[in-house]
Amino acid sequence: MRGEIAGLAHRDADVIEFLRRAGIPDAGELLDDPSWVEWRGGRAHLYEAA
């Protein structure tokens, strides 16, 4: 958030919770918006063990 890593997500609900804690309501609608969420280390919505 604001250039800092918010945490490690294991599912979409974790990402939504990080955004909610940052004061962003209805965060689930933002998961596919690259201006809000940057997916690293794999494809969006996939949370496989590295």
Q: Where are the domains of the chain?
A: 1-40
Name the helix (H) or strand (E) containing 1. none
Which pLDDT belongs to residue 35?
A: 86
pLDDT tens-place string over residues 1-50: 677 777 888 899 998 998 888 898 888 898 998 888 888 777 888 887 65
The C-alpha atoms of residue 42 and residue 25 are separated, in whole angstroms, by 26
The C-alpha atoms of residue 40 and residue 19 are separated, in whole angstroms, by 16
DSSP letter at 48 equals -
In single-letter form, the type of residue at position 38 comes to E
